[in-house]
């Protein structure tokens, strides 16, 4: 067995095989060579056409190649794979460099791999999703519970804050680490069978979707009566917040236009901010009252995770706070909002 094929740009290897794996399964046929990995939740492959082939006695040959070898492959090289004495030799030939690697022959379940590669031929017949609209909100999502898309909104929980982002796509549910992997492959995904699939150039990635999609409650949240809508300009506060970083909680004093940053017990940093009501230009006291004292304009507590991991991380300099009876809806940037329980500082 002997095949020769070319690698134009090795970037596809780095994007597909950026997981913590030591070896890459390599499938050799007369028409193409497939570099791939396959685990319970994720399948990734780079498929390259063969330029020349000869001496094929079997339908396929397979071996495992060290990942670091492929990731070090330079641009515009020719690779030869050949079998000799029960080993497969890989010779990489470039303009200025060449080297060879001896690999063990490997038994693989080619039927499973071939079935997944077959998705390439049918992928365009399935519903597509623009992945670019997910890039901003996914910067906020940590690994853990699954993310969901329901009622045209992506939503996930960030500690004690719910994040919602308008996406207008079909419903699906997936774990964030798998979804972030797909975002690194391409700009468009398809809902294919039980997979969220991304195909670009010579790359294919399949991620298993979660079994159930939870309702987002977004319709209830948006319809709930707003007691007041407040525009908050954080231009003065953002630099202070970036500098301090560690704080216990933050409260918004509506009557004085101050952001109170509770650094530690008894130590509070105060930053002047611009606060204005944007509901019929009415005074705060006419629209909102404290739960504890109906004659007092409340100081609203903002969860520290909302400030440190969202507002500061995305460098958001203005927000709109919609005060509801039992919760706050914070409009962060276009299409992205956060929801948290309404709490008042003493």
Span 309-331, pLDDT tens digits: 899 988 999 999 998 889 999 99
Percentage of the chain exceeding pLDDT 90:
50
pLDDT band at 221 (very low <50, low <70, confident <90, very high): very high
pLDDT band at 98 (very low <50, low <70, confident <90, very high): confident
Q: Tokens at residue 260, please?
A: 């109170």
Please give the model's pTM, rounded to 2 decimal places.
0.87
Highest mean pLDDT among 8-12, 206-210, 265-269, 290-294: 206-210
C-beta of residue 43 within 8 angstroms of C-beta of residue 36: yes
Quickly list DSSP for 206-247.
EEEPPS------HHHHHHSPPSEEEEEE-HHHHHHHHHH---
What backbone phi and psi angles, to 5 degrees, belong to 60?
Answer: -140, 160
User: Which pLDDT does position 287 carry in this prediction?
Assistant: 52
Mean pLDDT of 125-141: 93
How far is CA 107 from each of CA 25, 37, 41, 198, 210, rounded to the nearest angstrom? Answer: 10, 14, 21, 27, 30
Quickly list DSSP for 27-76.
EE-SSEEEEEEE-SSEEEEEEEEEEEEE---SS-EEEEEEHHHHHTPPSS
Dihedral sign for Cα atoms in the order 310, 315, 320, 321? positive
Q: Each residue of 176-194: pLDDT tens digit?
A: 999 999 999 999 999 999 9
Q: Which residues of 154-186 are buried (b: 16+ CB within 10 A; e: fewer)?
A: bbbebeebbbbbebebeebbbbbebbbbbbebb
Percentage of the chain exceeding pLDDT 70:
92
Asked if the model's pLDDT at residue 339 lies above 80, the reply is yes
Q: Which domains are assigned to the chain?
A: 2-120 (3.10.150.10), 122-218 (3.10.150.10), 224-345 (3.10.150.10)
In this structure, how many other beta carbons lie within 10 angstroms of the beta carbon of residue 290?
13
Q: Tokens at residue 50, please?
A: 């063969």
The residue among 313, 320, 345 whose CA lies nearest residue 245 is 313
Mean pLDDT of 202-231: 87
In this structure, how many other beta carbons lie within 10 angstroms of the beta carbon of residue 267?
10
Name residue, tokens 């329901």. 150
In this structure, how many other beta carbons lie within 10 angstroms of the beta carbon of residue 85?
6
Rounded-to-integer distance, Cα 152 and Cα 215, Å? 11
The residue among 247, 236, 237, 235 whose CA lies nearest residue 304 is 247
């Amino acid at each position: 067995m002997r095949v020769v094929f070319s690698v134009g740009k090795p970037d596809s290897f780095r994007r597909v095989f950026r997981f913590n794996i030591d070896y890459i399964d390599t499938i050799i046929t007369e028409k193409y060579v497939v570099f791939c990995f396959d685990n319970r939740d994720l399948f990734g492959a780079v498929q390259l056409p063969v330029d020349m082939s000869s001496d094929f006695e079997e339908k396929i040959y397979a071996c495992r190649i060290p990942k670091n070898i492929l990731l070090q492959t330079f641009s515009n090289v020719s690779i030869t794979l050949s079998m000799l004495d029960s080993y497969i030799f890989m010779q990489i030939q470039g303009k200025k460099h060449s080297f060879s690697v001896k690999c063990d022959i490997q038994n693989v379940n080619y039927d499973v791999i071939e079935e997944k590669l077959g998705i390439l031929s049918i992928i365009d017949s399935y519903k597509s999703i623009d992945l670019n609209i997910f890039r901003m909100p996914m910067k906020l999502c940590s690994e853990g519970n699954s993310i969901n898309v329901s009622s045209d909104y992506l939503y996930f929980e960030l500690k004690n804050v719910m994040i919602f982002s308008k996406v207008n796509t079909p419903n699906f549910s997936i774990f964030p680490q798998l979804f972030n992997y797909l975002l690194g492959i391409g700009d468009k995904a398809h809902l294919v069978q039980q997979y969220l699939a991304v195909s670009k150039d010579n790359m294919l990635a399949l991620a298993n979707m979660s079994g159930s999609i939870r309702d987002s409650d977004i319709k209830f949240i948006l319809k709930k009566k707003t007691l007041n809508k407040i525009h908050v300009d954080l231009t003065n506060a953002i630099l202070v917040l970036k500098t301090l970083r560690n704080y216990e909680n933050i409260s918004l004093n509506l009557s004085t236009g101050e952001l109170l940053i509770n650094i530690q017990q008894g130590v509070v940093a105060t930053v002047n901010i611009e606060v204005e009501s944007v509901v019929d230009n009415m005074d705060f006291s006419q629209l909102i009252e404290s739960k504890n004292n109906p004659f007092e304009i409340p100081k609203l507590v903002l969860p520290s995770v909302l400030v440190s991991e969202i507002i500061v991380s995305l460098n958001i300099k203005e927000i709109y706070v919609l005060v509801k009876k039992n919760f706050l809806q914070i409009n962060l940037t276009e299409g992205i909002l956060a929801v948290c329980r309404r709490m008042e500082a003493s």
